[in-house]
Amino acid sequence: MPSQSPHIPTPAPVTGGGASRQFIDSAFHPTSGPAASLPVAGRPCGLEAPIEVRSPSPRPNANAAASASVLLASRSPRRRELLTREGVPHRVAKRLVDDTGLRSGPVTPAQWVVALAHLKAHAVIAEAQPNEPILAADTVCVFGAPGSASSTERIVGQPRSAQHAAAIIREARNAWHRVLTGVAILRLRDNGLIERDLFVNEARVHLGDLSDAAIDEYITSGDWQGKAGAYNLVDRLNAGWPIRYEGDPDAITGLPLRAVLSRLN
């Protein structure tokens, strides 16, 4: 898909949780280098603003980049498993952001996930070694139809309770929904400048006619906890759920690994 005009939209303020507006704004306005608006990685996002921001600066040689340890700004065991699977050395940051109380406000889902990823990565920058990649991601499901001011589209993150999880799964049944993962890769260079690589991956998932009994059994298991949209793709496929998907299964799990590895290298 061809690149579009260089424009990154300014998101509205987030609410709740004491989120700082400067982090959200800075995800879309690099302090140095041109900001290019390119198509979202994965499926096109319809009328939603495409997001990919890079702040270029001199990179270390490819071999050094490939062997460097990654500072992971995430508690997610699934993201750690994906990195381990591909043999990517990494360590988990200590000063992680708790985004539980944050609310998106009037921004698009793509803007929201990439801003949260940037917030998480920026929060741990003091823990990073010079030139060490900082990797952060945020994944949400998006239910409803996109594309208009009166859209029914809404962001669905991790469920707040068993009752909430059951409601999410029942709403997802017999319908397609989108899965967006925002990714931020930051590097603190020797000259003190921060290099930033921000992008959004989109996939789609269809949950078939899952019975109420199967949903109740799943909710009782507690496996819905800590998962965007109340499910993990691989776990539910292995459990025999009637699921179809379009896009990168790793991205649906929480990290578009192929895209991340191409940027780390």
Tens of pLDDT, residue by residue over 182-205, are: 999 999 888 878 899 999 999 999
Query: Is the pLDDT at 234 greater than 60, yes or no?
Result: yes
Instruction: Quote the tokens at residue 156.
Output: 């669905």
pLDDT tier for residue 68 given thresholds of 50, 70 and 90:
low
Q: What residue ranges do the domains of the chain occupy?
A: 21-264
Position 24 scores a pLDDT of 47
Q: Tokens in use for 22?
A: 């400067």
Burial of 165 (0-12, 13-18, 19+ CB in 10 A): buried
Question: Whats the size of the chain, residue-wise?
Answer: 265
pLDDT digit string, tens, across residues 79-138? 999 999 999 999 999 988 777 666 667 788 999 999 999 999 999 999 999 899 999 999
| pTM of the entire predicted model | 0.75
* Higher pLDDT among residues 63 and 197, named by residue: 197
Q: Which residues of 151-160 are buried (b: 16+ CB within 10 A; e: fewer)?
A: eebebbbbbe
CA dist 259 and 195 (Å) reads: 17
What local confidence, expressed as pLDDT, does residue 101 receive? 65
Token duo for residue 36: 């290019």
Compare 248 and 41 and report the one with higher pLDDT. 248
Give counts: helices (H), strands (E), the chain: 9, 9
Name the amino acid, one letter, at 187: R
Gap between the Cα atoms of 98 and 87, Å rounded: 27
Amino acid identity for residue 172 in this structure: A
248-263 mean pLDDT = 94
Q: Which two tokens stand for residue 102?
A: 């944050």
pLDDT for residue 247: 95
CATH code linked to domain 21-264: 3.90.950.10
**Average pLDDT, whole number, for the chain?**
77
Question: Sorting pLDDT into bands at 50, 70 and 90, what band is 237?
Answer: very high
Residue 81 DSSP one-character state:
H
Q: Is 178 left (phi over 0), alpha (psi -120 to 50) or beta?
A: beta
Angle between helices 162-172 and 212-221 (to 10 degrees): 140
Active-site residue set: 138
Secondary structure letter of residue 228 according to DSSP:
G
What's the average model confidence in pLDDT over 141-163?
A: 80
